[in-house]
Amino acid sequence: MNADTPQTPNQSRTGNTPDSADGNDAVSDGVALEITSSRHFAEWLSEQGVGIAFTAPRAGKLLFVGLNDDDRVSVFQRTFESAGALTGAPSGGFSGVSRTLWLASKFQLWRLENVLQEGQLAEGYDRLYVPQSASTTGELNIRDIAVGSDGTPIFVNTLFDCIAIPGEAHSFHPVWRPPFLDTLEPADRCHLTGLAMDRGLPVYVSAAGRAKDPGGWKSGVRTGGCVYDIRSGEVAIHGLTLPHAPRVLNNVLWLLNSGAGYFGYVDVTRGLFEPIVLAPGFMTDFQVHGDFAVIALSRKYGGKDFTGLPVEDNLSNKGARAQCALAIVDLQRGELVHWMRLQGVIDELQGVTVLPGVRRAAAVGLLSDEICRVLSIGPEYQLGPARGRAPAPASTKKPADAED
């Protein structure tokens, strides 16, 4: 794999135009956002029949990638403060049809629902995600989200070093923590970074270290990373550098060894990481769709340069530099085959999820009165002893146009 693939000259270019910065709260403030893509990125989106949603935490953006009527790459943006972890996959990490997006912002966990019916469009968009509810969690630095078999969101609570679910009367309910930690403390001791699901249950958790002191993970960051097996309580693999986003597919544990720059899989039996691709950037999340992995890359991590990490040397040895981009990896060939790069105000990505069957998605924002005018009416509901939906057919109202 050519690690500096995102620097190749064969690219299509879009600037801060309606096609690359749609939405009335798009990146502006006089700072340009330049989006470039590899020659066949748009073709790949069309062939796969997917859109992509991803987040930029420092810019506070939820973004959607799709195709406009001219088959050009289109990027729609909405503002959510410190928009971070994101999932729309019912199985946690692998794309599947879902009307719901779960999004972590600075102190809330949002549930966004698509209000458009199949074949319905709103201003040319075939999905319109509306923020329907939010759990106030407090500022937990949620690094990853998955969805359990019962539909409950399960998230990585990095501040308290645990896996948790939102609560109706509490900020969160702890589900699991590293066995050697006796208490819950807001200390970010291990810096948990990712969660793997299997058959609707959490099975693996990635961490930057195994420390008991506040922020202790930082002292051994180059080799202190590991992945915990939740079922056994044992460490499945250690010696990693800031690992992220463990994912289980067909009994294989896939992983981002982000601090070294490699995407690959874990030989659990031997406790070894098998690298496949050196990615040109710091990887924070990925999702598998068919034979491809869509990976979020950043030029920074937590708003800081990753000076001193192996990824810096590994890229330098290839004559490459870190990019802020979406990278498409062909899992059969083990190669980075397509990409979309962002330059300007956005230099760090966090969550990414693939949207199957979507050509061009949008979302309703919170910064204007637009959210007051987009309505979706459900079926009539029967109150009282016979509580439930009435037998009458559903009555729906097309959402108001999402005007600027």
> For the chain, what is the HEC assignment?
CCCCHHHCCCEEEECCCCCCCECCCCCCCCCCEEEEEECCHHHHHHHHCEEEEEEECCCCEEEEEEECCCCCEEEEEEECCCCCCEECCCCCCECCCCCEEEEECCCEEEEEEECCCCCCCECCECEEEEEEEEEECCCCCEEEEEECCCCCEEEEECCCCEEEECCCCCCCEEEECCCCCCCCCCCCCCCEEEEEEECCEEEEEEECCCCCCCCHHHHHCCCCEEEEECCCCCEEEEEECCEEEEEEECCEEEEEECCCCEEEEEECCCCEEEEEEECCCEEEEEEEECCEEEEEEECCECCECCCCCHHHHHHHHCCCCCCCEEEEEECCCCEEEEEEEEEECCCCCCCEEEEECCCCEEECCCCCCHHHHCCCCCCCEECCCCCEECCCCCCCCCCCCCCC
Confidence check: pLDDT of 14 > 90: no
Residues 103 and 403: their CA atoms lie apart, in Å, by: 23
Q: Which fold has domain 5-389?
A: Neuraminidase (2.120.10)
Instruction: Specify the range with the lowest mean pLDDT, choosing from 69-73, 187-191, 305-309, 314-318.
Output: 305-309
Question: What is the model's pLDDT at position 104?
Answer: 98
Name residue, tokens 């201003």.
Answer: 123
Residue 402: per-residue pLDDT: 39
Which residue type occupies 283? M
The residue assigned the tokens 């330059």 is: 343
pLDDT digits (tens, 9 = 90+) for 126-155: 999 999 999 999 999 999 999 999 999 999
Of 48-57, 126-135, 334-343, 389-398, give the lowest mean pLDDT range: 389-398
In this model, does residue 162 exceed pLDDT 90?
Answer: yes
What pLDDT shows up at residue 384? 80
From 147, 177, 139, 174, select the one nearest 161 (Cα to Cα). Answer: 177
Strands of 292-298's sheet in order across: 11-14, 33-38, 335-344, 325-330, 292-298, 282-289
Res 233 pLDDT > 60 = yes
pLDDT at residue 287, as a whole number: 95
The predicted-structure confidence for 275-331, as pLDDT tens digits, reads as follows: 999 999 999 999 999 999 999 999 988 766 667 899 999 999 999 999 999 999 999
Q: Are 287 and 89 in contact (CB under 8 A)?
A: yes
Mean pLDDT of the chain: 87
- From 34-38, 237-241, 292-296, 400-404, the region with the lowest mean pLDDT: 400-404
Give me the pLDDT at residue 377, please: 87
Average pLDDT over every residue of 84-111: 82
The backbone torsions φ and ψ at residue 43, rounded to the nearest 5 degrees and listed phi first, read -60, -40
pLDDT at 93: 52
**Stretch among 186-200, 239-253, 290-304 having the lowest mean pLDDT:** 290-304
- Calculate what percentage of the chain has a pLDDT beyond 90: 76
Residue 3 predicted with pLDDT over 60:
no
Report whether pLDDT(17) > 70.
no
Dihedral of alpha carbons 65, 116, 95, 63, sign: positive
Query: How far apart are alpha carbons 257 and 314 in whole angstroms?
Result: 12
Q: What percentage of the chain carries pLDDT values higher than 70? A: 84
Q: Residue 399 — pLDDT band, cuts 50, 70, 90?
A: very low
Which residues sit opposite 33 in a β-bridge?
Answer: 344
The pLDDT of residue 403: 36
User: Among 17-21, 63-67, 162-166, 339-343, which stretch is predicted with the lowest mean pLDDT?
Assistant: 17-21
| Sign of the four-CA dihedral 115, 118, 122, 124 | positive
* Max CA pair span of the chain: 70
Sign of the C-alpha dihedral computed for residues 66, 68, 73 and 75 taken in this order: negative
Q: If you average pLDDT over residues 264-273, what whole number do you get?
A: 96
Of the candidate ranges 82-91, 100-109, 353-362, the one whose mean pLDDT is the lowest: 82-91
